[in-house]
């Protein structure tokens, strides 16, 4: 049986401290975000996904978070203080959703977890013979254009004069420098393009809001619907639960500073080359 990594103490001490309390089969809880201050207004885009849902659960338990907004296409992602139905490819819907989320207070943290690897008519290409324009277009729409549109609305809404962050889920396979295996051309290219979007918009963000961060995160290989068809190929001990991955990613967000702007980070906090 495949071993799935669940919660374990962080590799090095950091502000997102693990208490490892055993509650109802869940192996850990956390004292939560330490570096953002308190009374946080937080949004999770893609809250209906495996990792997005785990972010909502973790942030809901975080005492620093005052308002939690869970945004998904069908609006049924449970657990957030507020839930919204919003198509991330609809600019007007995003504008309306963001206006509601920031009606009383600006945003302090936003996380975007949207992404596809496979689906109807879409499968990661093993060779150039498998490349199809429609599938590639769809992957670009969801993996690159949707997070970019979200960033268009999130970045100007981040509070000023204090640490704030927008973190977007990328993927290590989107690293051009790290690509030694080939394959999966559309997914890789869409995530590489996303990394460029993050870098480009982080430069504009630094000019307009010097305390704000825009970074990418690689969650590792996580046991969700996205990775499900490919889990047989994952090395023993390399498949994480969504809770474990989210714990590590929140830790990474918490320990980043503005010198990290525009980069993509792995769960162990190392920078992934572009």
Ligand X SMILES: NC(=O)c1ccc[n+]([C@@H]2O[C@H](COP(=O)([O-])OP(=O)(O)OC[C@H]3O[C@@H](n4cnc5c(N)ncnc54)[C@H](OP(=O)(O)O)[C@@H]3O)[C@@H](O)[C@H]2O)c1
Residues that bind ligand X (CB under 6 A): 46-52, 72-73, 77, 88, 113-116, 142, 146, 169, 171, 218-219, 221-222, 224-227
Smallest gap from Cβ 54 to ligand X, in A, equals: 8
Rounded-to-integer distance, Cα 88 and Cα 70, Å: 13
Smallest gap from Cβ 247 to ligand X, in A, equals: 15
Nearer Cβ to ligand X (114/192):
114
3-state SS of 69-99 is: EEEECCCCCCCCCEEEECCCCCHHHHHHHHH
Smallest gap from Cβ 270 to ligand X, in A, equals: 15
Pair 85, 75: CB distance under 8 Å:
yes
Run of H or E including 146: helix 146-154
Nearer Cβ to ligand X (159/195):
195
Q: Which residue has the tokens 């996904």?
A: 49
Smallest gap from Cβ 208 to ligand X, in A, equals: 26
Q: In what order do the strands lie in the sheet with 164-169?
A: 82-85, 65-72, 40-45, 109-112, 164-169, 212-217, 264-265, 271-272
Nearer Cβ to ligand X (36/84):
84
Smallest gap from Cβ 265 to ligand X, in A, equals: 12
Nearer Cβ to ligand X (48/124):
48
Nearer Cβ to ligand X (77/109):
77
Nearer Cβ to ligand X (88/262):
88
CA of 242: how far to CAs of 6, 34, 81, 87, 183, in Å? Answer: 8, 21, 20, 23, 25
Is the C-alpha dihedral spanning 167, 168, 171, 177 positive or negative? negative
Name the token pair of 201: 């918009």
**What contacts 270, CB < 8 A, 6 or more positions away?**
none
Nearer Cβ to ligand X (166/218):
218
Name the DSSP letter for residue 36. T
Smallest gap from Cβ 47 to ligand X, in A, equals: 5
Smallest gap from Cβ 188 to ligand X, in A, equals: 11
Run of H or E including 56: helix 50-60
Smallest gap from Cβ 49 to ligand X, in A, equals: 2
Nearer Cβ to ligand X (163/166):
166
């Amino acid at each position: 049986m495949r071993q799935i990594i669940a919660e374990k103490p962080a590799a090095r001490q950091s502000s997102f401290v693990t208490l490892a309390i055993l509650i109802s089969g869940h192996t850990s809880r956390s004292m939560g975000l330490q570096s953002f201050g308190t009374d946080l207004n937080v949004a999770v885009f893609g809250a209906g996904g495996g990792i997005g849902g785990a972010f909502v659960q973790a942030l809901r338990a975080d005492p620093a978070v005052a308002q939690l907004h869970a945004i998904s296409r069908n609006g049924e992602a449970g657990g957030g203080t507020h839930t919204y139905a919003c198509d991330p490819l609809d600019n007007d819907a995003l504008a309306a959703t963001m206006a509601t989320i920031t009606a009383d207070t600006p945003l302090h943290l936003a996380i975007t977890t949207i992404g596809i690897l496979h689906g109807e008519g879409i499968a990661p290409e093993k060779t150039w013979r498998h490349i199809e324009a429609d599938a590639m277009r769809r992957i670009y729409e969801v993996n690159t254009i949707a997070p970019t549109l979200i960033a268009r609305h999130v970045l100007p809404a981040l509070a000023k004069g204090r640490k704030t962050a927008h973190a977007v889920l990328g993927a290590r396979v989107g690293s051009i420098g790290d690509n030694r295996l080939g394959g999966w051309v559309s997914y890789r290219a869409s995530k590489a393009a996303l990394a460029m979007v993050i870098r480009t918009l982080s430069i504009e963000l630094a000019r307009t809001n010097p305390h704000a961060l825009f970074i990418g995160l690689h969650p590792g290989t996580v046991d969700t619907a996205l990775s499900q068809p490919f889990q047989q190929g994952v090395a023993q001990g390399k498949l994480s639960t969504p809770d474990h991955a989210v714990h590590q990613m929140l830790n990474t967000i918490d320990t980043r500073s503005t010198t990290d702007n525009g980069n993509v980070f792995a769960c162990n906090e190392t920078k992934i080359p572009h």
